[in-house]
Structure 1
Amino acid sequence: MFLRHLRRDVWEESDWKIEMSADKPIRVAQVMGKMLGGGVEAVVMNYYRYIDHSQVQFDYLVDEDSTLVPREEIEGLGGRVFEIPPYQHVFEYQRELQRLFRQEGWRIVHSHVNALSVFSLRAAKKAGIPVRIAHSHSTSGKGEHIKNAVKSILKTQANRYPTHRLACSRYAGEWLFGKGADFEVVYNAVDLSKYAIDVAARARIRCELGVSDNQLLIGHIGRFVDQKNHTFLLQIFKEILATSPDAVLALAGAGPLVEQTKRQASNLGIAESVRFLGQRHDSPALYQAFDVFCLPSIYEGLPVVGVECQASGTPILASTEVTPETAFTSLMEFEPLSSSPRSWARHLLAMRGKEPVVSDADSLAAFDIRCAAADLLDFYVSAIFEEGAR
């Protein structure tokens, strides 16, 4: 992790007093947009679970049309959830944010809505919030013409309102803030201990799916949206079935394109070999069951599933639209989206049974959530120190 603005001893020994104690931790307003079970929510929740709650607490600001808000867990950890109008209603969205920012008196606003952070951080600046963090989690993809046009316009204002800039990768940071911009990388860290090799979990999940140990199981975890490219994934899998007719494709996740994807599987004549698992909360066990993970996304920042796969020892083939920074072990390989489904299928089949190399263990350590959460805590405190000392 690149985060290390100011060493802990610097701000602890300073005469400038920071309100941080078991009775009054720093509360950070996390602007989440829509919580729909996606990767960004998983990243922020991972950090929240492992950060020191006696020193920092998270309050979640979520669009009121969110469908998967882990309210019970957030409140159990000491956080709060505030529902606000959807960001599509941009004026109402900003008005309510500004009202909440003034009412609650947060000293830090951490916005995770990529190019849309211009709206949340504009409201934060108007409300006088001293620390305003824009966090880039993604990029843009081919084919999403309207979305990309809007993002391009909003990006021109990306550096106007934040006091600090973070990104999940160099690629994501340069996309939003520009090449040469001042930002820091915060990796999408995970609890590595949850992803250790588990033979029992592998057997249990494969039994649940009706897949024998000798059958090839291709996996994918992600929302059913255009970005994840399920259409191409099904075409790849059809080519795999031509070589391995008893292979199975397992798709975990929810989203607006589930039914469309099911119809496509039926139209391709492969529906009997595709398992739609719905929204799952046992991803560590799923990774154990998969022989290979396929990620043909049309764009990503630094996908959490890429980190989790490698931590699990599961080979993963991703599109070259995924930043190469994701490949921190030998388990991850890439294929262009311009390649044919047959080429992807051959590549996936060749990766079955791939073993990590010895040096991979050191690379994984950089994604340990315990260290990463401590670094994020230091970052928050340093940011308040810097703003207070000006």
Structure 2
Amino acid sequence: MQKNPQTEKPIRIAQIIGKAVISGVDSVVMNYYRHIDKSRVQFDFFMDGYNPSLLDEEILDLGGRVIKLEAYEKSMYKNIKDCRAAFEKKRYTIVHSHLNTLSVFPLYAAYRSGVPVRIAHSHSTTSRGEFTRNLMKQALRPFSKTFATHYAACADYTARWLFGTKAVKQGKVRLIQNAVDTSRFFPDTAAGKRIRKEFKLENRFIIGHIGRFAYQKNHELLVRAFAEVYKKNPNTALVLIGTGELETDVRRLVKELGIEQAVIFTGLRRDIPDFLNAFDVFFLPSRYEGLPVVGMEAQAVGLPCLMSDAVTKDTAVTPLVEFFPLTAAVGEWADKLLTYKNREKRTYPDLLRKSGFEIKHEAEELCRWYEDLQKSAAR
């Protein structure tokens, strides 16, 4: 296809991703950005917080821009003001917000700035146990479509939750899969061995988790279950990748349980494929999930996955995924984890591709959608 005929330059899309934590939403958007045709479409990333992130350099190298905003929890007024200033200066045609119910705020800024195409994207729903967060989500949900001109979602049920069944049935919500870059995520024994050697984990049974330290991810169950595993098999290690508001609490629990010697906190890492190749099982006991991209990445490298039954079943595009009751006792979780020792790894590339989770095809589809939206806005 031709470049945008209006300018003969790539269409610039303002991508509102919130915090850059190298997992979840920002990981999904980056996967698409790496593979989209940048002669036709470019991304500018709007991030909460002024500190540098691990994504900044890569974004700039690929021709994108990084726009830092005041974190919304510190000042929503300043966050919206920062958005409006950037929208008006760069004169975007399309703003794509990935903040679920909170998208109402940047899309309001886009509306006030005269941006003609404003996309609200649903990545998750609510969960029992997060009263304050759920209250905010439910309060904002009726306004989620107020300033949006188009809707998108990672899965059918997240689309229905935010935009309503009627909108889904009428075909008003575009499904954008949390697609995987199979050129980065593939079986790599050497990479796995490098990670094991770096962290002195040779010949250990490694349980791995990748995700933000937040209520949703259920690190308390994760750590307590591992503690029971460790009692039965001291030749076991738990690797936790990520950062977040509950990291201090999780570290305290690890110390209380006396398992510091067997638990590794890596912080944020860019070599996620290498870690997935080092793990023996990927453990995701979340209290709720939209469609976890890291679950797709784990399947792409052939890694067995144990997830809570609160994770959407759409995640299981291969036989590698097994769901276990969130209500099960800690000891039951531990016994289940131990069944993964010496479990065979196997890839299912055809299943990933047929399920629509291969990034190259999906990136081209997204590129065409943006071009169609640009053309419609220019009429």
2:36 to 13, 26, 51: 51
Aligned to 1:5: none
In the TM superposition, 1:350-369 aligns within 5 A as 350-355=339-344, 360-365=348-353, 366-369=356-359
Which residue identity is paired with 1:328?
A: V
- The within-5 A match list for 1:256-335 is 256-335=245-324
Quote the Cα distance in structure 2 between the aligned partners of 1:91 and 1:149.
20
Q: CA deviation at 1:273?
A: 1.4
Question: 1:189 corresponds to which residue?
Answer: 179
Change (3 A) 1:69 1:200: closer
Aligned residue for 1:351, secondary structure, equals: coil
Q: 1:347 to 1:67 in 2, by over 3 A?
A: farther
**Which moves more between the two structures, 160-169 or 109-118?**
160-169
SS in 2 for 1:260: helix
CA distance in structure 2 between the aligned counterparts of 1:205 and 1:86, rounded to whole angstroms = 34
Whole-Å Cα distance in 1 between the matches of residues 6 and 197 of structure 2?
Answer: 49
Question: Which residue type is aligned with residue 79 of structure 1?
Answer: G
TM-score (norm 1): 0.90
Change in CA separation of 1:187 and 1:308 when aligned onto 2, cut-off 3 Å = same
Distance 1:148 1:64, change over 3 A: same
1:99 alignment partner, one of 81, 85, 94 = 85
Change (3 A) 1:155 1:321: same
Deviates more, 1:68-77 or 1:150-159: 68-77
Displacement, 1:357? 7.0
Deviations 1:321-360 (A, max 9, x none): 11111110000111121111111122222234444778x3
CA drift of 1:376 comes to 0.7
Percentage of pairs with the same residue: 44
1:24 and 2:12 are equivalent in the alignment? no
Give the superposition deviation at 1:278: 1.9
- Give the distance between the partners of 1:371 and 1:42, measured in 2 at CA: 17
- Taking a change above 3 Å as real, the CA distance of residues 210 and 71 of structure 1, as seen in their structure-2 partners, is closer
C-alpha distance in 2 between matches for 1:66 and 1:140 = 29
| Paired residues of 1:35 and 1:66 also in contact (CA < 8 A) | no
Sort the Cα spacing of 1:333 and 1:180 in 2 relative to 1 into closer, same or farther, 3 A.
farther
Deviation sequence 1:18-51 (CA, Å, 0-9, x none) = 5367x51111111122223332111111111111
Residue in 2 that maps onto 1:136: 122
What CA distance in whole angstroms lies between the structure 2 residues aligned with 1:355 and 1:20? Answer: 54
C-alpha distance in 2, partners of 1:18/1:194? Answer: 30
DSSP-derived class of the 2:339 partner: helix
Task: For residue 75 of structure 1, give the secondary structure of its aligned residue in structure 2.
Answer: helix
The partner residue of 2:193 within 180, 203, 208 is 203
- The alignment's C-alpha RMSD in Å is 2.0
2 CA distance for matches of 1:255 and 1:349? 28
**Separation in structure 1 between the aligned mates of residue 202 and residue 64 of structure 2, nearest angstrom:** 43
Structure 1 residue 84 displacement after superposition: 2.4
CA contact (8 A) 2:285 2:307 kept: yes
Unaligned stretches of 5+ in structure 2? none
Query: Is contact 2:125-2:290 (8 Å) kept?
Result: yes
Q: Which runs of 5+ in 1 are unaligned?
A: 1-7
Structure 1 residue 83 and structure 2 residue 72: aligned?
no
Q: CA deviation at 1:317?
A: 0.7
Counterpart in the other structure of 1:147 = 133
Listed one character per residue, the Cα deviations across residues 233-273 of structure 1 (whole Å, up to 9, x for unaligned) are 01111221233222111111122322321221111122221
Q: Contact 1:168–1:301 (CA<8 Å) still a contact in 2? A: yes
Provide the residue aligned with 1:228 in structure 2: 217
Give the aligned partner of residue 336 of structure 2.
347
Moved runs in structure 1, 4+ residues, more than 6 A? none
* Contact 2:280–2:343 (CA under 8 A) maintained in structure 1: no
CA–CA distance in structure 2, aligned partners of residues 104 and 83 of structure 1? 14
Q: Is the 8 A contact 1:330 1:357 kept in 2?
A: no
Separation (CA, whole Å) in 1 of partners of 2:265 and 2:156: 34
Structure 2 CA distance for aligned equivalents of residues 197 and 69 of structure 1:
24
Number of aligned residue pairs = 372
Write out aligned runs for 1:100-139 (5 A). 100-139=86-125
AA at the equivalent of 1:301: G
Distance in structure 1 (CA, Å) of the matches to 2:180 and 2:106: 27
Q: Distance in 2 between matches of 1:332 and 1:242?
A: 25
Query: What is the distance in 1 between the residues matched to 2:95 and 2:39?
Result: 19
